[in-house]
């Protein structure tokens, strides 16, 4: 249960970070910020996509939410 709760909290924190600074973070920066691997952050982004949350990335691979 603790791991699941930790994952949910991280997902929400990533969402908040990206909302506060669109195109402000690359996956590597998020991995460092949340002390996780880039693969974990990739899985997080896949979870967002599966949930219907769309992302854009710029030429420097920084992320922002896509408008519908």
pLDDT tens, per residue, the chain with 68 residues: 456 679 999 999 999 999 999 999 999 999 999 999 999 999 999 999 999 999 999 999 999 998 76
**pLDDT for residue 33:** 95
| pLDDT given for residue 1 in this prediction | 45
Residue 54, Cβ density class (10 Å: 0-12 exposed, 13-18 middle, ≥19 buried)? exposed
User: Residue 44: which of 5, 2, 1, 8 has the closest Cα?
Assistant: 8
- The full set of domains in the chain, from first to last, is 2-65 (1.10.10)
pTM for the model? 0.84
Between vectors from CA 54 to CA 23 and to CA 47, what angle results, nearest 5°? Answer: 105
Q: Residue 5: its pLDDT value, please? A: 75
pLDDT of residue 68: 65
């Amino acid at each position: 249960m603790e791991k699941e709760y930790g994952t949910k909290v991280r997902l929400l924190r990533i969402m908040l970070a990206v909302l506060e600074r669109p195109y402000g973070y690359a996956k590597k920066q998020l991995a460092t910020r949340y002390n996780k691997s880039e693969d974990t952050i990739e899985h997080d982004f896949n979870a967002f996509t599966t949930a219907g949350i769309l992302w854009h990335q710029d030429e420097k691979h920084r992320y922002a939410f896509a408008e519908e």
